[in-house]
């Protein structure tokens, strides 16, 4: 998910491949990550529930690794 303001409209996408989702997340960080108000999140959905895996803000990146049984489900960057 890409937002130019924390509570603003979001650009989202879903990918079948975790590699593609991570590549897109990194591209968004490179393109938009320098803005002081941008928030970029990589979210994994498991059993219909979102789990925030990575977040980028002006303060840098925060990463929350999924449990070992969830690694295969990584495929969304929202």
Q: What is the pLDDT of residues 27-51, one digit of tens each?
A: 999 999 999 999 999 998 888 888 8
**Within a 13 Å sphere around the CA of 46, how many CA atoms are in the beta-carbon half?**
13
Categorize the per-residue pLDDT at 60 as very low, low, confident or very high, splitting at 50, 70 and 90.
very high
Q: Using DSSP, state whether 63 is helix, strand or coil.
A: strand
Cβ atoms of 5 and 35 within 8 Å: the answer is no
Closest to 40 (Cα-Cα) out of 20, 24, 16, 19: 24
* Cα–Cα distance for residue pair 71/33, rounded to 1 Å: 25
Confidence at residue 64, expressed as pLDDT on a 0 to 100 scale: 86
């Amino acid at each position: 998910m890409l937002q130019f303001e924390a509570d603003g409209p979001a650009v989202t996408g879903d990918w079948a491949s975790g590699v593609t989702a991570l590549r897109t997340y990194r591209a968004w960080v490179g393109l938009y990550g320098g803005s002081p108000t941008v928030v970029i999140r990589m979210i994994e959905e498991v059993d219909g529930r979102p789990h925030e895996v990575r977040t980028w803000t002006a303060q840098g990146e925060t990463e929350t690794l999924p449990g070992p049984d969830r690694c295969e489900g990584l495929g969304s960057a929202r």
